[in-house]
Every structure is written in structure tokens, then in C-alpha cells.
Structure 1
Amino acid sequence: MTVWVAWAVDVVCALVLAGVVVGAVAWAWLAEGMRGWAAQGRPAPVRRGPDRLKAAFVGGAALSAAATAGFWWAGLPVTAVTQGLLAVPLGVLAVDGLGYEARRALAVRCAVRRSARARARTDRSRADRADRGARH
């Protein structure tokens, strides 16, 4: 009988914690969506929404991964596997969001360098024309 009770506690714990993790992520996503909707196309007063959402994904993945080890050590294998499976999509979403931010930052940096090179070429050509005009 005690084996069944232990498995029941393990399964119930897995379901409750999975619901908490999914609910927290859904709440964070909904809160950021509502903030954007409230802005109605205008820039939102707080522009840190995507950062907060990425932080929720990173934190959720890290906490789920840590909980996996803790639950496995505590002898709750179903809960450990469930938390491990929840850590994977959260980690993928976090890496995807951070990768997008890195690509965007790199594109901005490249554009700034490109415009600086173009300005330097223009300045050099103006200086060359001025030098040619001064010689004649």
C-alpha cells in the first residue's frame, strides 16, 4: 500500500508543479501581451517587456532543471522527469529569444560600422576634390 501512496504523491506533485510552471509562463506571456495591447500601437511606456519575458524563460528553465535534480535525489522520479521535460521547451524559447536579440544587436552594430565607413569614404573624396581644386 505504501508503494501506491508514494507513486500517487509523486504523480500529484508532478501534475501540480507542471501546472504551476505552465501557468506562470502563460501568465507572463499574457501580461506582456496585455501591456502591448494597452499601448494600442504606441510605444509602451516600459520597453523592457521582451527582456522580462526572456528572463521568465531563462529562470523557468533553470529552476526546472534544478528541481529535476532535487526531485530525483528525493526519490520522486515522475516529478523529476516532468520537470526535466518542462525545462527543455523553456530553454529552447530562452535561447531562441536571446539568439534573436544577439542577431539584432549584431545587425545594428554592422549598420553603424557600414555608415561610418561610408562617411569616411565621402569625407576622403571631398578632401581629394578639395586638394585637386587647390593644385589647379
Structure 2
Amino acid sequence: MLNMLVWVADLVSAALLTALEVAALTAFWFTEGLKQWAAEGARPPRATARFFLVLTVGPAGLAVVGYSFYRAGLPVACGSQAMLAAVLTLLLVLGGGTECTRWILRRSERRRLVRECRSK
């Protein structure tokens, strides 16, 4: 009976925490999108920094929570936290790659324009 209660607590905590984390991330993206819409498509000045902060602190926090669940003997909750941490880390890598690509393209465009101005 006690073993069954542990499994129920494990499943409920995994589902509840996963739902709360997804809701928080969705709310963050919604507010960032609303700020971008209010700026008429232009990106707000600190949007990229906030994005990277959330996607850096998020997986670290999930790893700590997952380890705590592991130590408490709740493997399903630990697994759900590990999967969410992996998804957030993947989003961080993809977002970082996109920002690096944008930076490289802007820099090469500026250098091209400078070369054109100097050659005239």
C-alpha cells in the first residue's frame, strides 16, 4: 500500500510540475511576443538577454529539482525534470545559434558597406 502511494505521489508531482513549468514558459513567451507586437515587430532592447537568462537558469533549476526527486526516490518526477531540462537546453542551443547567425550576417553586411564607402 505504501509503495502504491509513493508511485501516485511520484506521478502526480511529475505531472503537476511539468504542467506548471510549461505554463510558466508559455506565459514568458506570450509576454515577450506581446512586447514585440507593441513595438510593431521590432525586438525590445533586452529581449535576447531575458531569453538566454530564462533558458540558462531554467535547465539548471530543473537539474537541481530532478536530483532532489532522485534522492527522494521519485524516478518518474526525476525523469520528467530531466526531459524538460534537455528540451530547454536544446532551445538554448538553437536560440544561441540563431543569434550568432544574425550577428555574423549583420557584421558582414556592415563590413561590406564600409568597404563600398571606402572604395568610392
Higher relative contact order (CA 8 A, sep 6+): 2
Residue 96 of structure 1, CA deviation: 0.8
TM-score w.r.t. length of structure 2: 0.83
Q: Give ranges in structure 1 of 5+ residues lacking alignment.
A: 124-136
Q: Measure, in 1, the Cα distance between the counterparts of 2:34 and 2:115.
A: 42
Residue 56 of structure 1, CA deviation: 1.7
Cα RMSD, aligned residues only: 2.1
One-letter identity of the residue aligned with 2:89: G
Residue 82 of structure 1, CA deviation: 0.6
Q: Can you list the C-alpha shifts for 1:50-78, whole angstroms capped at 9, x where unaligned?
A: 33233222222222223222211221101
TM-score w.r.t. length of structure 1: 0.75
Aligned length: 120
Q: Give ranges in structure 2 of 5+ residues lacking alignment.
A: none
In structure 2, the CA distance between the partners of 1:11 and 1:42, relative to structure 1 (3 Å rule), is closer
One-letter identity of the residue aligned with 2:9: V
Q: Can you list the C-alpha shifts for 1:106-133, whole angstroms capped at 9, x where unaligned?
A: 222223333444455x27xxxxxxxxxx
Q: Would you say 1:4 and 2:4 are equivalent positions? A: yes
In percent, how many aligned pairs have the same letter? 32
8 Å contact from structure 1 (residues 60, 90) kept in 2:
yes
8 Å contact from structure 1 (residues 64, 84) kept in 2:
yes
Residue 88 of structure 1, CA deviation: 1.7
In structure 2, the CA distance between the partners of 1:8 and 1:53, relative to structure 1 (3 Å rule), is same
| Larger-gyration structure (1/2) | 1
